Every structure is written in structure tokens, then in C-alpha cells.
Amino acid sequence: MQAATARSGQTQSGLDRLLAELHALGGRDLAVAQQADRAAELWRQPPRIQVTGRAHTGRTTVLRALALMSAVETAPIDEPGVPDPELDADVVVYVLAGAPQPADRRVLAALPPQHTVVVLNKADAIGSSWADAVAAAEQYGRELRRPTLPVVASLAARTRAGAVTEEELTLLRALAAEADPTLTLSPELFVGDPAGPRARERETLLRRWDLHGIACALTALRHDPGLSGPALLQVMHAASGIDALHRLLHRRYEQAAALRGGDLLDRLSRLAARSVPEAGGRARDLIEDYLAGDEAVWLGLCAGLAHPSVAHLAAGYPAVHPADADDALSRAARWRAVVASDLPPTARRAALRVHNGYIRLWGRMSSAGL
Amino acid sequence: MPDSDTDDPSDRAAERDATAAQAGAAGAGDPDARGRDPAVGIAELEPLVARWNPQGTALLRALRTPGAAADEVALVAPAGVGTTLLRTELARLSPRVALTDALTDATAVETTLGSSATPPAAALVLLDAGSVIGADAIGLIGRLRAAGTTVVLAIDNIHAHADWREVRERDRAVLAANGYPEADILPVSARLAAAARTGDSALLDRSGLTALHAALVTATAGGAADDGQARAAVLTRVVTETRDRVAEQMAALRGDTEIARWRAERAALLAARDGGRAAAMSTLRGRLHLARVDLMTETGAQVRALHATARAEIDRAPRAELPDYPLRLQQAVTDLTAVVDRALDHRIGEIGRRVDTAVPPAATGDVRAPGESPVVPRAGVHGESGPRPTEVLGQGTEVLDARSTPARGRGREPAPRVGPDPEPRPTGVEDHLMVALGASAGAGLGRLLVSPLSLVPALEVASVPVTLALGGLVAWWVVRARRQVADRAHLRQWVAEALVTVKAQLEQRVATALVETETALTEQVMRTCAQRVVDNDRRVAELEARIRRAAAERPGQLAACERDIALLEQYLANRGR
């Protein structure tokens, strides 16, 4: 996505130029300039993220594990006597802790799927192994028709900062040598009576790494007793499942940002259509010049690819930017076919934007336009 | 709602110990209870079973409760692997409680309630320990209650959530706030029950499954209560289970594992009787010696280096700068002191850390056997509650930590002075000698130069003043050169003497700081160790008391257990006939 960020930098400057020029026109076009300002302002606001879920599902822990600056935690869903919080962010992270309850289904059904990420938190509590948790997450994802990811946020929040010390490693090796199957069944058993005099150390270990982390570390150590502290930390971090969530969230965030670019183009087009060029007003010309420019076409391409009705068609692309001119042309031809198909109008409009974008890229890459 | 005598599964292990003690006490008062009545009735067994197997008693009580015919229990739970496991585990217990398919939400419940003319007599509402009860579930419970159904509430998966007690309390609070203050929530874990299949009754108690089963049997008003045979089977099972539990307890008593563990702990504590003081002190002393030697050597080297630099500077400096040189030397000494202080702080910090590792501060108050490494991360020493922000110095990568910053007033102590400025060099006989030598040499030179002039008679008059002038000039130059050399030598001498003083003062500074550190750290070690010795002694006394008590009570407890087993077996044999 470096190309995208580089281009968005250019776009910003192009947009700035447009705004400055509109303001310079003055007179009757001042109203148009103000509306364009408003559209640009809406576009520049960063996408918002909300983390929500029922009470005690671990919203705060998920937020801490994700370490996102822009995310906000909402009030709990399905609280007796309290109305559900308003979920209007660009990306909503919905936290489940176990099977979805009727209230979860109700709230999720009202959320747009492309803006929602469902997190099955406390996944270590489901079934007897991680496979059960993955199967459950897949099943819930099918039922809710939204991607659902199993995560142990409490462990991820711990592996985010911290290192396995030498003492902990020694204790873990000693525990791995014991073959008691009920050892990591429950936190209470882990520090309970049979732990004997070492209960305090185990308690510290449990507080530091969570039972799921300890169980994973023990399994890893049984396979390879020579593992080092950092390697163990890596194992535990991978076992928390937070990375997959990060990736999905990142993709959703980018989509939300791209869709905002599409909104900006829509607003500017409407503005251009409304500002009738009478008595020498040049606002319309300026806006249309901008809309026909490379920056706006690139924004349109990104927005079209991110549009939920056609996003699945772009799934095979390794990057938004085509590899070379031939690639751009073949992509454009494919999207041309989508435009001509009998998809709903919004999808066709998105496909048209993608098509135009690739044609422009092809032109630039092959110098055919010159 | 069922009676909540089996409230918290994790308390049961303690309960069972208490049970064994009670059994011992009861047995001591009633030596031959078994000889009197060969045909033991269930009424006599009741208190015995209640003591050993509270869930079994609850089940028996449930069986006696008269009620409607057996009915299916509506299971309200999310469909999932946990629910399936719970069904499986419940199905293994008799009398069998028939459960409907899992009703996942309110609409399913409505359908079930609406379809049959009579609503189900009981419903098991399974909550998850992972999240707090919501408005939907409250509404559902309300509807079930309104339909006249007995609602049994349980939270599942307590094994996986360490904070299930908190969740249960919050659930209860929510229920109470919504008009069900009497509602009880049974904690249960199907996974623990599955793990207890190996015959671990403590684990089974912890899982809470039997309590849930008893509650369900109560709720369905007797299950198969009208069926005498089934009832007898349950009775036999409960009695058999109780006997197994008594036998388990006896094995534990005979096995002595508990006492062996206490003994091992006591031995470990006795071995570490001085609380690790000797080791810590020797560490401290060794480290301090090493630090002293290192620091002295380093100080010496630094002063020598400074001396060499000073000599070179004096030789090179223009004459005008020489009077200011003492000031510059003082500056250099101040800088050197800062370097020495920094090295000193670094070393002291290191020693403090070493001592901390050897003797963790008493704040944690825990007792450890020797050879075990401390797990608790090092807290601040000198009464600080946490690590203070560290400071990185410009030079090198030394990091100062809290203890090494001058808390002992060393930093306020000024750097050593180089002493008074050099006294003016006394003019000695050499200076006069130089004047004479210079003058005579100048005169000789003058004469040599003016000798050609004498050939010209007209210029002969000028030869005398020129000779005198040249003689004076050369004398002045020789004297000046001599004074410069002597001044530099004088300054060098002064620097050498001043630096000797500075070195002595710096060494004294190092020694003082190390002694102060030694005092402070020794005091800390003493305090920590004293605390640990007290803790150790208390723990040893406690262990000894426990071992003695166990040894004294064991025969009585064993006898009581044997008596209980005999009673139970007699009952079983009677039934078998």
C-alpha cells in the first residue's frame, strides 16, 4: 500500500489546491468553496473504531490487547434497564465471550457486515482445545454471517509487553516435566492444594502469563525443552490469536478510509452539478478538472475496490496497484465486463470507477495517452 | 431453588478435612456403635452420608420429596460443545434427568411453552461464566416463572474463568435488582466432571455436577420417586459412593503424603534458619572489597592521566596563560571528581542489586526454601515502593538506578580543591648569576660585533654605546628565558604536589562512600533477615503443631473411618440379601 499512501499525499495537495482556488474565486462561488471545505473535512477525519459487546466479555482487555489509539470502548450491550449504546463507528469490533446470545444476534444483525469484526474472546474457555475454539468461531461466523476470530485477549495483552524471565523459564521447565493432565485444566487447580510449597510461584506465573499462555508454553516445552525465553514469548503471542485480528481490523480500516474517499468524490460531483456556470462562475470547471485528475481517479479506484458489493471480485489482487501496463489493461477489461453485467446499479457504479482507474493507470504506465 | 449447602465447590476439600476430624471426635465418644444394631437402617446412615457426601444427601432428600410425575427438564442453553458435554455428564448420573434439546433463545422457549398444554415442570437455564446475564435472559426467566416452571440457574465453564465468583455475584445482583432476590446460581463445569471420571471425587465435587443433578432431581419433584426399585438403586449408589469416599480419605490418611510434605517443608525451613544472612553478608563484603580495589585503581589511573595532561599543557601553553593555569586545573579536578562519583554510584548500585538478589527485601514477607530462586521481581530498596525512572548518562551506557543517586549527601560534597595558588617563585642566586653571565656574554658579543667598526676611525666613537646596548639586550634576553623555564618548572612542581593531595582526597571520598554503603546495606540485610527468621520460626512452629496434631489424631480418624466403612458395608450387604 505504499503507492496508496504516496498517492493520497498527492491527492491531499491536489485537493488543497482545489480548495484554495475555489476560495480565490470569491463572489458567488464562495458558498461552493465552503461546501467543498466541508466535504474535505469529512474525508479527512480518521475512521472511528468502537469496541462493544455484552457486560464482562472483555471489551477493555481486547482494547488493551489491540493497543489502538483511535478505538473507543462503548457501554455494554443487553444491560437490563439500559438502552443499547449507539454503534455508528466506521469499524465496530464486537466482542463475544462464548456462544452468541439472542441480544448479540439482534445487535449484530443491525450492523453492516463490511464494517464489523466479531471477536470470540476467552476462546481458551471453549471446548478442550484450540481446535474447538476455531470450530466454534467458524460456526458462529457462519451463523452471524460475519468473520469471527478466536482470540485470548488477556494473554495478548500480556505478551504485548514483557519477557519470560529466567526463573519463570526454570519453573515452566519443571512443570513441563510433570505429566499431570489436570494441571492446566483450571486456574484454581493450578495454584490449588497439590501445588504444595511452590503455590506462590505458580500464582505469580499465572498472574503474569494467564493459564492459556502457560498451557501453550508447557506444550511447546514438552516438544522442545531447549526453547529460549523470547521463543516462548513468541509461541504464547501466536497462541493468543491476536495477529489475525490485527490483520482483519487493518483491512477493514483501510476499506473504511477508501470508502470515505468515494464519498468525497460523490459530494464533489454533486457540488459541481449544482453550481450552474452563470455569469462567468468557474467553480464547476475547477471541480470537474479535479475530478478528472489522477488523484481523484485513484481515490475512485480505491473506493470502488473497497465497495462491499464488488469487493469479493478484487480478492485475487495482490495489491491495488497493477504490476505493469498489461496487468492494468487486463484488469480494466475484466471490470468493464462487470460494468456491463446485470449487477445492481451501486455495484456497477463502483465497478465503473475501478475500470476508469485502471484505464488511467494503463495510460500512465504505457504512455498510450500521450 | 435447591438448598445451597454445597455452595462453593472449592471449599469442599476443606470441608472434607473437617469431616474427617469430626468423624474422629464422634468416634472417640462412641466406641462400639456398630455392635449393637446389625440391621442398619437408612435413617442411621443419614448423618453419616451427610457428613461424607453432601451431594448424595441432597439427592436422597430430593428423592423423598413427593411431587408430580417425572417430567422433562427444558434445557435453555446455547448450542455448543460445552452444552453437549454437560448433557453427557448429566446423563451418566442416576436417576436420569431427561433434558429436552437445547433451546437457544426466547422464541424457541415460547414455541415449546406454547406447543404443549402443560409447561415443563422445570427448566435448566445455563449461563456462561464468561459474561454477565443480560436483559434477554432475565425476561426469559420471568416468562418461565410466570408459566409456573421451576427454574434452575447454573453457570457453566467455571473451570476456564478464574473470575467466575465475581461473575456469579454480578449475576445474582442483576437478578436481585430485577425481582429475583432469592435466585441461586449453581456453579458447574462439565469439563472438570469429565476429568473426574477417573474416580477423583474431590475433582467431582469441585465440578459441581452432582449438586446440579440433585437440584434438578428436586426440581422435577422426585424423578423416579414412585419407582421403588429405581429409588433403591440410587440409594445403593449413594451409599457406595460414600464408602468410596471414606476409603479414599483413609488411603490419604495412611499414605501420609500430607505429613511428608509438611516434614519436607519444615526441613527446608530449618536449613535456612538464619534467613540467608550469612550468604548475603559474604556477598556484600566480597563485592565491597572488589569495588574498593577497582575504584582505587581507577582513581589512581585517572589522576595519573590528569597529571600527564597537565604537564603537557604547561609545556605548550603560551606564557600569558600560565598565571590562569591553577583555575583550569581546578576545573579539570572537578570534572574528574564527577567521573569518579559516577563510577562509584554505578558500583554501589550494582552491589545493591546483588544483595537484593541474595536477600529479597522483606516487604514480600514470603518464606522460601534455600536454593529456590526468587520469582518476585525486585522492588525498590530503601523504602521505595517501585522502581524509579532511571537516568542515562551521557558518557558510556551506565544506567543509574534509584539507590545510586546521591541519597547520602555525597553529591553535595564539593570536589577536592587543588590548594592555594603557587607562591611567587623566590629570586635566588641563580638569577643574579644569570644577570652577570648574560651581561658578560652580551659585552663579549658586542665587542665582537663592533670590532669591524674600529677600522673606521670616525665610527670608533660609536663602538662603546653599541657594545653596551648589545650587552644589555643579550643580558635581558637570557634573564627572561631563564625566568620562563624556571616558572614552568615551578608550576609543574606545584601541579605534582596538588595532584597528590587531590588523589588522597578522592581516595578518601571513595572509601567514605563505600563505608556508608556498607553500613546501609548491612542494616538492610539484617532487617530483612530478621524478618525472615521470624517468619521462618513462625512457619516452623505452625508446621510442627500441624504434624503433631495430625499424628495424634490420625489413629482416631482412621478408626472412625473404619467404623463408617463397616456401617456402610453392613448396610450394603443387608440390601444385597
Residue contact A197–B261, C-beta within 8 A: yes
Residue contact B128–A102, C-beta within 8 A: no
Residues A62 and A41: beta-carbon distance below 8 Å? no
Buried b (16+ CB within 10 A) or exposed e, B492-504: bebbeebbeebbe
Whether A191 contacts chain B with CB within 8 A: no
Residues of A in contact with B75 (CB under 8 A): none
pLDDT attached to residue B46: 78
Q: Quick one: average pLDDT of A349-362? A: 92
In B, minimum Cα distance to A98 occurs at: B130
Whether B207 contacts chain A with CB within 8 A: no
The residue of B111, B127, B128 whose CB has the most chain A CBs within 10 angstroms, and thus the best one to mutate to test that interface, is: B128
Domain spanning A49-151, CATH class:
alpha beta
Residue contact B373–A78, C-beta within 8 A: no
Look-up of cell digits 491527492:
A11
Whether B167 contacts chain A with CB within 8 A: yes
Chain B contacts in chain A segment 5-44 (CB below 8 A): none
Report CA dihedral (A13, A18, A23, A28) to the nearest 10 degrees: -170
**What is the tens place of the pLDDT at every residue in B133-150?**
888 888 888 888 887 788
pLDDT attached to residue B241: 82
Q: How far is CA A303 from the centre of its chain?
A: 16
Query: Distance from A79 to chain B by nearest Cα, in Å?
Result: 6
Find, among A204, A239, A301, A290, the residue nearest to B376 by Cα.
Answer: A204
- 3-class DSSP state for residue B153? strand
Residues A98 and B126: beta-carbon distance below 8 Å? no
Amino acid in the structure at residue B562: E
pLDDT exceeding 90 applies to what percent of chain B?
A: 14
Per the structure block, which three cell numbers stand in for B17?
478435612
Cα separation, B52 vs B21, whole angstroms: 12
Whether A203 contacts chain B with CB within 8 A: no
Whether the predicted pLDDT of B24 surpasses 90 = no
pLDDT attached to residue B65: 63
Whether the predicted pLDDT of B222 surpasses 70 = no
Q: Which of A82-96, A192-206, B10-24, B378-392 has the lowest mean pLDDT?
A: B378-392
Whether B129 contacts chain A with CB within 8 A: yes
Residues of A in contact with B268 (CB under 8 A): 197
Amino acid in the structure at residue A202: R
Q: Which of B130, B134, B167 sits opposite A103 (nearest CB)?
A: B134
Amino acid in the structure at residue B75: L
Q: Which of A304-318, B26-40, B135-149 has the lowest mean pLDDT?
A: B26-40
Whether B321 contacts chain A with CB within 8 A: no
In sequence order, which residues have a C-beta less than 8 Å from that of residue A12 and are 6 or more positions away? none
Whether the predicted pLDDT of A221 surpasses 70 = yes
Pick the CATH number of B44-255 from 3.50.50.60, 3.90.170.10, 3.40.50.300, 1.10.3720.10: 3.40.50.300
pLDDT attached to residue B20: 47
**What is the tens place of the pLDDT at every residue in B488-506?**
898 899 999 999 999 999 9
Find, among A96, A58, A62, the residue nearest to A246 by Cα.
Answer: A62
Whether B80 contacts chain A with CB within 8 A: yes
Residues of B in contact with A196 (CB under 8 A): 261, 265
Find, among B355, B381, B359, B354, the residue nearest to B370 by Cα.
Answer: B359
pLDDT attached to residue B70: 54
**By CB neighbour count within 10 A (0-12 exposed, 13-18 middle, 19+ buried), where does A24 fall?**
exposed
Residues B52 and B246: beta-carbon distance below 8 Å? yes
**What is the tens place of the pLDDT at every residue in A11-40?**
457 888 888 888 888 777 788 888 899 999
**What is the tens place of the pLDDT at every residue in B320-354?**
888 888 888 999 999 999 999 999 999 989 888 88
Q: Quick one: average pLDDT of A67-93? A: 88
Residue contact A98–B157, C-beta within 8 A: yes
Residues of chain A with CATH 3.40.50.300: 49-151
Query: Distance from B77 to chain A by nearest Cα, in Å?
Result: 9
Whether A188 contacts chain B with CB within 8 A: yes
Q: Are strands B399-400 and B122-128 parallel, antiparallel or unpaired?
A: unpaired
pLDDT attached to residue A277: 67
pLDDT attached to residue B372: 37
The residue of A185, A191, A204, A210 whose CB has the most chain B CBs within 10 angstroms, and thus the best one to mutate to test that interface, is: A185
Residues of A in contact with B138 (CB under 8 A): 80
Chain B contacts in chain A segment 49-78 (CB below 8 A): 53-57, 76-78
Whether A340 contacts chain B with CB within 8 A: no
Residue contact B178–A80, C-beta within 8 A: yes
Chain B contacts in chain A segment 204-243 (CB below 8 A): 204-206, 211
Residue contact A122–B161, C-beta within 8 A: yes
Q: Quick one: average pLDDT of A162-182? A: 82
- 3-class DSSP state for residue A116? strand
Per the structure block, which three cell numbers stand in for A100?
452468541
Query: Distance from B375 to chain A by nearest Cα, in Å?
Result: 6
Q: Quick one: average pLDDT of B364-392? A: 37
Residues of chain B with CATH 3.40.50.300: 44-255
pLDDT attached to residue B115: 64
Whether the predicted pLDDT of B223 surpasses 60 = no
Whether B369 contacts chain A with CB within 8 A: yes
Q: Quick one: average pLDDT of B536-563? A: 88
Q: Quick one: average pLDDT of A220-241? A: 90
Q: Are strands A116-120 and A148-150 parallel, antiparallel or unpaired?
A: parallel
Chain B contacts in chain A segment 111-140 (CB below 8 A): 121-122, 124-128, 132, 135-136
The residue of B131, B206, B207 whose CB has the most chain A CBs within 10 angstroms, and thus the best one to mutate to test that interface, is: B131
* Confidence at A61, pLDDT banded by 50, 70, 90: very high
Q: Quick one: average pLDDT of A2-15? A: 54
Query: Between these two residues, A313 and A368, which has the higher pLDDT value?
Result: A313
In A, minimum Cα distance to B10 occurs at: A188
Cα separation, A52 vs A77, whole angstroms: 7
* Confidence at A153, pLDDT banded by 50, 70, 90: very high
**What is the tens place of the pLDDT at every residue in B178-216?**
888 888 899 998 888 888 887 777 788 888 888 888 888
Whether B267 contacts chain A with CB within 8 A: no
pLDDT attached to residue A279: 61
Q: Quick one: average pLDDT of B424-438? A: 81
Residues of B in contact with A78 (CB under 8 A): 134-136
**What is the tens place of the pLDDT at every residue in B448-484?**
877 777 777 777 777 778 788 888 888 888 888 888 8
Chain B contacts in chain A segment 93-112 (CB below 8 A): 97-103, 105
**What is the tens place of the pLDDT at every residue in A93-127?**
999 988 888 889 889 999 988 889 999 999 988 88
The residue of A62, A101, A204 whose CB has the most chain B CBs within 10 angstroms, and thus the best one to mutate to test that interface, is: A101
Query: Between these two residues, A337 and B232, which has the higher pLDDT value?
Result: A337
**What is the tens place of the pLDDT at every residue in B302-318?**
999 999 999 999 888 88
In B, minimum Cα distance to A137 occurs at: B80
Q: Quick one: average pLDDT of A45-66? A: 91
Whether the predicted pLDDT of A74 surpasses 80 = yes
pLDDT attached to residue B38: 45
Query: Between these two residues, B35 and A42, which has the higher pLDDT value?
Result: A42
Residue contact B132–A54, C-beta within 8 A: yes
Mean pLDDT for all residues in chain A: 86
Residue contact A126–B189, C-beta within 8 A: no
CA B126 to each of CA B49, B78, B103, B240: distance values in angstroms, whole numbers, following the listed order? 29, 8, 10, 30
Cα separation, B410 vs A263, whole angstroms: 67
* Confidence at B117, pLDDT banded by 50, 70, 90: low
What letter would DSSP give residue A95?
Answer: E
pLDDT attached to residue B216: 85
Whether the predicted pLDDT of B564 surpasses 90 = no
A-B interface: how many C-beta pairs under 8 angstroms? 128
Q: Which of B135, B160, B203 sits opposite A182 (nearest CB)?
A: B203
- 3-class DSSP state for residue B94? coil
Backbone angles phi, psi at A55, to 5 degrees: -65, 140
Residue contact A122–B130, C-beta within 8 A: yes
Q: Quick one: average pLDDT of A330-349? A: 91
Q: Which of A54, A125, A182 sits opposite B134 (nearest CB)?
A: A54
pLDDT attached to residue B221: 61
Cα separation, A284 vs A272, whole angstroms: 5
Chain B contacts in chain A segment 164-183 (CB below 8 A): 165-168, 170-171, 181-182
In A, minimum Cα distance to B9 occurs at: A188
Q: Quick one: average pLDDT of A272-295? A: 82
In B, minimum Cα distance to A143 occurs at: B79
Q: Which of A52-61, A274-283, B48-57 has the lowest mean pLDDT?
A: A274-283
Query: Distance from B364 to chain A by nearest Cα, in Å?
Result: 11
Q: Quick one: average pLDDT of B359-368? A: 48
